[in-house]
Amino acid sequence: MAFSTNGSEESELYHAQIHLYKHVYNFVSSMALKSAMELGIADAIHNHGKPMTLSELASSLKLHPSKVNILYRFLRLLTHNGFFTKTTVKSNEEEETAYGLTPSSKLLISGKSTCLSTLIEGALHASSIDMWKSSKKWFNEDKEQTLFECATGENYWDFLNKDSESGTLSLFQDAMAADSRMFKLALHENKNVFEGLESLVDVAGGTGAVTKLIHEAFPQIKCTVFDQPQVVGNLTGNENLNFVSGDMFKSIPPADAVLLKWVLHDWNDELSLKILKNSKEAISHKGKDGKVIIIDISIDETSDDRRLTELQLEYDLVMLTMFLGKERTKQEWEKLIYDAGFSSYKITPISGFKSLVEVYP
């Protein structure tokens, strides 16, 4: 890096050092958050009904007295990062700091429909972290494989299915279900997308978290959750909610609309094109009235919201390293959609950092 010579060289160097150190140690904030989730700090404060002092928290969490100061230092970082609040309370005529919840830490409260604890467990699972040790090897090998494959010798899907007895597959499904429950907010704001449909198939719909929300809002729609046999084989529904097993790369059950939530970003353009073409075939009986509903990220690097763009770009690297998938820009979505033979589309931002893409024949 070249530094200016107008007297600000030292200042520029210091700022560059801070920027670099910040990104080197970002993982500490992630791991501190994971520790807070595993300890159940948010649950303790929520169950207490009001902010808790350090001693109250340590007692509630059944921590050894030697760990109280360690808890304080974790809370100091997590409070700075916006996961807890600090207030002053009087205890035995002395003032103490009490820690309360923020909207972000409320997402860690167990049993709530918006709880995202399993998402933290899945994203920060040892298998997802350890693979980065092999990144240099991955870059220097002339093989079309994911970073996960380079590090472990198997692809992520095989790892999940093979390791199902240890709970890894269940953890992945729970994490996806937790994320899907956040869809309830977006569904309320975008009900018009589903109005008028008589049938819908949720492709790679897992255990049906999203489909159940749609079924709840629109009980008249005949909903089908379509996924692999090991995912839906033992699941049962009702008259207007059923589970069907199959392979989306071969065919998709017919319906008025096909829902692809968090699906296409797992795959490269060639395989995504195959899924979209099969989706188009599935809605062909409806003529121009059928549609494909995609929920995924649409990257906008020109956005003024740098934090949002950074999150989207980080997700892109997650998809790349785990699946050789990708998050797409509006231009990339347009090319993929038209290459699949569709005539038009509409992109609507939803759920903070995702978008809803309606695709028409």
pLDDT in tens, 45-67: 999 999 999 999 999 999 999 99
The beta strands (E) that lie in the chain are given as: 52-53, 84-91, 94-101, 199-203, 222-227, 241-245, 257-261, 291-296, 298-299, 328-329, 344-350, 354-360
Mean pLDDT is lowest, of 102-116, 165-179, 228-242, 286-300, for 165-179
pLDDT digits (tens, 9 = 90+) for 109-162: 998 878 899 889 888 988 889 999 999 999 999 889 999 999 999 988 888 777
Walk me through the domains of the chain, giving residue ranges and CATH numbers.
Answer: 11-107 (1.10.10.10), 113-172 (no CATH), 182-360 (3.40.50.150)
Please provide the average confidence, as pLDDT, over all residues in the chain.
90
Mean pLDDT, range 173-187, rounded to an integer: 72
Catalytic position from the list 15, 215, 265, 285: 265
In this predicted structure, the answer to whether residue 174 has a pLDDT above a threshold of 90 is no
Confidence of residue 278 (pLDDT cuts 50, 70, 90): very high
Other beta carbons within 10 Å of 23: 9
Q: How far apart are CA 155 and CA 162, in angstroms?
A: 11
pLDDT digits (tens, 9 = 90+) for 297-350: 999 999 889 999 999 999 999 999 999 999 999 999 999 999 999 999 999 988
Give residue 119's pLDDT: 87
| CA 2 to mean position of chain CA atoms | 38
Q: How far apart are CA 269 and CA 331, in angstroms?
A: 13
Give residue 298's pLDDT: 95
Confidence of residue 181 (pLDDT cuts 50, 70, 90): low
Query: Any catalytic annotation for residue 48?
Result: no
Residue whose structure tokens are 């948010």:
42
In this predicted structure, the answer to whether residue 164 has a pLDDT above a threshold of 70 is no
Query: Are the C-beta atoms of 37 and 120 separated by less than 8 Å?
Result: yes
Confidence of residue 166 (pLDDT cuts 50, 70, 90): low
Q: How far apart are CA 299 and CA 331, in angstroms?
A: 10
Bridge partner list, 152 = none
pLDDT digits (tens, 9 = 90+) for 70-89: 999 999 999 999 999 999 98
- Please state the pTM of the whole predicted model: 0.86
